[in-house]
Amino acid sequence: MKKQAIILLTIGAYLLAGCANHTHEHDHDHSHETHQEATHDHSHEGHDHTSHEVHDHTSHEGHNHNHDHAATAHGHNHEDGISLKPGEAEAIGLTTETVTPATFASVIKCTGHIVGATGDVVTVVAPQAGTVHYANSWAEGAAVSNGATLFTISSRNVGSGDAAERTRVAYETAKAAYERAQKLIVDKIISDREFETTREAYEQARLAYEAVGSDNNAGSAARTTKAGYITSLWVKEGDYVEAGAPLATVAQNKRMQLRADVPQRYYNELPTISSANFVTPYDNTVYKLSDMNGKLLSYGRNAGETSYFVPVTFNFDNKAAIVPGSSVDVYLLGKTRNNVISLPMESLTEEQGLYFVYRRLCENDFEKVEVKTGLSDGSRIEILSGVKAGDKIVVNGVYRVKLAANSNVLPEAHNHNH
């Protein structure tokens, strides 16, 4: 009885295994079944059935392993495919731009610097020779009001004494003589000529005294004639200066100039230049003269004897905190071209000298695409190949997608068919 039960269980297990094997073969691709029948059906050739079963099992097992790897790779969408979790794109603020051919300017990239526009900058000079004393703890960038005293110049212990004091004494003496002459001329005690000579001496003494600007015992005052910001301090405390020597520069920073240094090889293209963008080194912001009431003033007709560059000058409204004297990267904009594909600079990533963007396939799926780049205007860059009109390219959130791409990298599939 037990022997019969064992035989029945064995038969049942064999039938179940055969069913399972049939189902699995049915799930395989039809081309595999055809290959199986053509290659392994040797029943009419008199081959040993046991040998056939072993051969078939080995071949089938190897195929099944490779198929599993293929299925695993397919689970990551396709080659270079990246998937984000539902809602992750929105959480990181991911945005895309639809590729649309448009106009794009020819660009000449060079260097330049920012200076104050003519009339916007005033230089404070020494009213007399002497030693410099700061009227306050001034520093570059400090705001000053119109008429503010920046320095005093004293010559009290230099040479023949304090020039301001001598000027004051001369002024007061001339003033007293003039006031006395005014009374004497009424009674005709002095001639008209003598009175005019006295008046002239008084006026000269007054002008000299006001020019020195001494209103205290510290020395002559050096004042600014405009409100603005101190952009340069040319002297230190205690320095000796001659009359008229520059002490400081004050700029209102309302109107500024961009001076670009263009290599001579671009000289023939200068007449086509209409505007420019520039990037500051301290905030890496792209400033567009088109947004700042920018205007081309001039471009050089020749280079200097010791220079290999031709100057191009613009002026613009300082609508931002741009620092005069800054060295900047300049993108001169020339003739525009039509039907050019371009993308924002922030959409690109660079790897070993190659550039890539991330194309959106659907809500949470992306792919990495290599692109060839052309000219850049500092804000956007020309794309020569790799994307086409209608593609949706990631602009914000690029590095989060890149991290997701790196985390999805699969190890190379192993082949167990030894």
- Confidence (pLDDT) at 300: 80
Are residues 391 and 295 located together in one domain of the fold? no
Cα radius of gyration (the chain): 43
41/36 Cα distance (integer angstroms): 7
Nearest C-alpha neighbor of 293 from the set 327, 319, 320, 324? 319
Q: Is the pTM of this model over 0.85?
A: no
Q: What is the DSSP letter of 13?
A: H
Does residue 415 belong to any structural domain of this protein? no
Q: Which amino acid is at 134?
A: Y
Within this chain, do residues 234 and 353 fall inside the same structural domain, yes or no? no
Counting Cβ atoms within 10 Å, is residue 82 exposed (0-12), middle (13-18) or buried (19+)?
buried
Question: Quick one: which of 296, 297, 277, 275 has its CA closest to 287?
Answer: 277
In angstroms, the Cα distances linking 32 to 28, 39, 47, 66 are 7, 10, 22, 13
Pick the last residue of a domain from 335, 351, 382: 335
Q: Note whether residue 416 is domain-resident.
A: no
Upper half-sphere CA count for residue 222 (Cβ side, 13 Å): 32
Last residue within a domain, chosen from 314, 335, 356: 335
CA distance 346 to 394: 9
- pLDDT of 160 higher than 60: no
Domain-embedded: residue 347: yes
CATH number at residue 272: 2.40.30.170
Tell me: do 275 and 243 sit in the same domain.
no
Number of domains in the chain: 4
- Which of 347 and 171 is assigned the larger pLDDT? 347
The domain boundary residue, chosen from 320, 335, 350: 335
Cα–Cα nearest to 332, from 250, 270, 403, 239:
270
Indicate whether 180 and 32 sit together in one domain: no
Whether 417 maps to a domain, the answer reads no
Residues 6+ apart with CB under 8 A from 27: none
Please state, in angstroms and rounded to a whole number, the distance separating the CA atoms of residues 33 and 17.
Answer: 18
The answer to whether 381 and 350 are in contact (CB under 8 A) is no
Element containing residue 310 per DSSP (H, E): strand 309-317
Residues 220 and 247 in one domain: yes
| DSSP H or E segment with residue 21 | helix 2-27
pLDDT at 285 over 60: yes
- So what's the pLDDT on residue 320? 73
User: 15-24, 121-130, 133-142, 370-379: which range is least confident on average?
Assistant: 15-24
Residues 132 and 242 in one domain: yes
Q: Where are the beta strands (DSSP E) in 169-308?
A: 220-223, 228-233, 240-241, 246-251, 255-263, 275-279, 286-288, 295-299
> What's the CATH code of the domain at 242?
2.40.50.100
Query: pLDDT tens for residues 181-234?
Result: 898 888 888 898 898 999 899 888 888 777 665 555 567 888 898 888 888 899
DSSP 65-80: HHHHHHHHHHTT-STT
The answer for 228, left when phi > 0, alpha when psi is -120 to 50, beta otherwise, is: left
The closest of 260, 287, 311, 315 to 118, measured between CA atoms, is 315
| 237 and 259, same domain (yes or no) | no
User: Are 59 and 146 found together in one domain?
Assistant: no
Residue 413 lies in a domain: no
pLDDT digit string (tens) for 62-104?
Answer: 444 444 433 333 333 445 578 888 888 888 889 999 999 999 9
CA 31, 35, 37: angle at the middle one, nearest 5?
Answer: 120
Q: Same structural domain for residues 161 and 191?
A: yes
If DSSP codes are grouped into helix, strand and coil, which group holds residue 171?
A: helix
Distance between CA 273 and CA 258 in Å, rounded? 14
CATH of the domain at 390: 2.40.420.20
Q: Residues 135, 225: one domain?
A: yes
What is the residue range of 372's domain? Answer: 82-101+341-407
Residue 325, Cα to own-chain centre: how many angstroms? 17
**Statement: residue 34 has pLDDT above 50:** no
130 shares a domain with 219? yes
Q: Are residues 192 and 237 in the same domain?
A: yes
